[in-house]
Structure 1
Amino acid sequence: MKRRQYRKLLGAMALSVPGLAASGTPPLEYYNATSNPARPFTQAVRAGDYVHVSGQMGTDANGLVPGGFEAQSRKAMDNIAVILKGMNLPMDSIVKCTVMMVDMNKWGDFNKIYTTYFKPDRLPARSAFGVNALALGGEVEIECLAYAPVPESEKRRAR
């Protein structure tokens, strides 16, 4: 692709993403509920009107929670809720989740847990897939995208 075509494509993409067109790049906000140098990633990043929540596992300060798949699934969802709450966002702000599971035979068990975190008529879009392994020997990992429009007053201040 020629450079001119590439720039034109990037410009069109920017116009299609809320918050990008006005300033050229979205304001970024990094959120970490806890600091853990052993895990080199940010728990959530706000980019314009969207918050990207890093993959969460069933871990606490001591590592993987005991109790296997179900306990890890609950704790991963709880971890997501804590991160969003720290950013003053409800679980209802989640518009997309990606679920990675070591054992896809536990799909039904996961659904029973997952659906308790949302209103029945307000479930996020979701993808799920089986993986060979996850970090720390975990059984499930969940990443989310939340929609959280930046108030117009804050958009004006950022300009």
Structure 2
Amino acid sequence: MTAPRFLMIDQAPTPVAPFSHAVETDGWLFVTGQMPTWPDDDAAPLPQGIAAQTQRVMDNLILVLEGSGYALADVVQVRAYLTDFQRDYAVMNETYRRYFPEGRLPARTCIGVTGLARDALVEIDLIARRAHDPSVQMGQGG
């Protein structure tokens, strides 16, 4: 087991609390929940509406993934948090779905919450795993 690497990504938005953007260990990347904040101006107002906020969150996740040497294709699990589940679930799904190719959707949980930092409508975190290198042979079970 390798020691975890605690990653801060220069291109990603400044965290709203004391945490790393991501932690990597043994080919796994655990990405902290991203908010719909702007990477170049943390004080700017959040985008209006769930579609725009979901897009901003997904774009921020891509910044963290790419800054960590991963891609959306490496994502295996996602958790989404919505402050108004009934109102925003369908539109969030429509926007989120555009980021993943057909047949390559990560496992996902979506949770309704009472509030998020900066009064955001959505926050999303994820787990990624480096693609398996087929040139490396795995041992057979015994």
Alignment of 1:70-149 (within 5 A): 70-105=51-86, 106-148=88-130
Q: Following the alignment from structure 1 to structure 2, what is the Cα–Cα distance between the partners of residues 132 and 109?
A: 19
Q: Offset at 1:149?
A: 5.9
Q: Which blocks of at least 5 consecutive residues in structure 2 are unaligned?
A: 134-142
Q: State the aligned residue count.
A: 127
Secondary structure in structure 1 of the residue aligned to 2:19: coil
List runs of 5+ in structure 1 lacking aligned partners: 1-19, 21-25, 152-159
More helix by share: 1
Contact kept, 8 Å, 1:50 with 1:149, in 2: the verdict is no
In structure 2, relative to structure 1, the CA distance for the partners of 1:27 and 1:94 (3 Å cut) is same
Aligned to 1:42: 20
Aligned to 1:23: none
Distance in 1, Cα, partners of 2:65 & 2:56: 14
- Matching residue's letter, 2:73: D
Runs (4+) of structure 1 moved beyond 3 Å? Answer: 34-38
Q: Scaled by the length of structure 2, what TM-score is found? A: 0.81
1:32 aligned partner, one-letter code? M
- CA displacement at 1:27 relative to structure 2: 2.1
**TM-score, length-normalised on structure 1?**
0.73
Asked which structure has the greater CA Rg, the reply is 1
Distance 1:27 1:150, change over 3 A: farther
Alignment root-mean-square deviation, CA: 2.0
